[in-house]
Amino acid sequence: MYARIAGVGAYLPGSPVSNDELARRGIATTDEWIVSRTGIRARHLAEDACATSDLAFEASRRALESAGMAASGLDLIIVATTTPDFIFPSTACLLQEKLGNTGAMAFDMQAVCGGFVYALCVAEKFIRSGSHKAALVVGAEVVSRILDWRDRATCVLFGDGAGAVVLAASDAPGIIATVARADGSQHGILSVAGQVRGGRVRGDPFLRMDGQAVFKFAVRVLSEIAHECCARAGIPPSGIDWLIPHQANIRIIESTVKKLKLPMDKAVVTVDRHGNTSAASIPLALDAAARDGRIQRGHKVMLAGVGAGITWGAVLLQF
């Protein structure tokens, strides 16, 4: 029994907000400064009334349509997010209601930018065990809600969005190998350290990042985890048809591709269109490449993500 991707979907809220538009809004930056350092040209920002579960619903609806499946056929729903609608109940349960599903197991996965890969690893194990037949795995974020818009080093990097896949039991090969890791000793280089206590926010409620430390860590572990995942599958990195890394920074992507000795045209890059959307970035890129025809059935695709925690992981699948 395998777990195979049966459908993909994605959603970006509103119109793209360009780097020049951020400058017009009073942020001390320029298009040249952002593009030269990150490769980001635009991002999407959700309106105040739009919640993470709303973005997740739109991406999920498209993924279910792509799979030719009704929401009632799902028996597992996992939402990877670091910006849930509420402290509780889970965003997955809120999404379940919006989809009209009753009875599926539903929970959130919190591994920040590594969340989608983590969630896919978990969902695959449920299906391979035989306990579940059809899973909806979503990465959805409204990162704009936790940004300090006075800090140009971070606020220009992120955006909002959602991506989803339907994972179904199959006799044909699907997910071939998975690897997931974490190193909690590195939690201080990327965090939102605030908390709610006694009805008040205690600590810093904004995203803070040591950019240099995160860059160095990400460049090292993304290539290492991809190599490890390939080794588990018994193939060399050259056997990968497509690499879909976390979409955070074009220079991290380029370094990862170089370390894997792959041509750059084997990497799916969408960071320029939506910035770093945390757990949504990998499924957004997967959806883009599947819908424009680059990724075809039978292609071997490597997903590799890294996020705060620090968490990181990789999934090798046959699409």
Residues 64-106 have pLDDT tens digits of 999 999 999 999 999 999 999 999 999 999 999 999 999 999 9
Tokens 């969902």 identify what position? 123
Domains by residue range for the chain, with CATH = 2-171 (3.40.47.10), 176-318 (3.40.47.10)
Cis omega (within 30 of 0) on the bond before 245? Answer: no
pLDDT at 29: 94
pLDDT at 267: 98
| Contact status, residue 271 vs residue 248, Cβ threshold 8 Å | yes
Cis omega (within 30 of 0) on the bond before 310? Answer: yes
| CB neighbour class for 211 (10 Å; exposed up to 12, middle 13-18, buried from 19) | middle
pLDDT at 39: 98
Which of 93, 113, 155, 229 is labelled catalytic?
A: 113
| CB neighbour class for 87 (10 Å; exposed up to 12, middle 13-18, buried from 19) | exposed
Helix axes 52-67, 91-99, angle to 10 degrees: 50
| Contact status, residue 29 vs residue 23, Cβ threshold 8 Å | yes
pLDDT at 113: 98
Determine the Cα–Cα distance for residues 42 and 207; give it in Å rounded to an integer.
19
Which of 19, 101, 249, 276 is labelled catalytic?
A: 276
Residues 166-181 have pLDDT tens digits of 999 999 989 999 999 9
Mark the ranges of the chain whose per-residue pLDDT is less than 70.
Answer: none
Torsion on CA atoms 255, 256, 260, 265, rounded to nearest 10: -80
Q: Where are the alpha helices (DSSP H) in 68-114?
A: 91-99
Determine the Cα–Cα distance for residues 316 and 232; give it in Å rounded to an integer.
9
pLDDT at 211: 95
Q: Tell me if residue 113 is catalytic.
A: yes
Show Cβ contacts of residue 220 under 8 Å, excluding neighbours closer than 6 positions: none
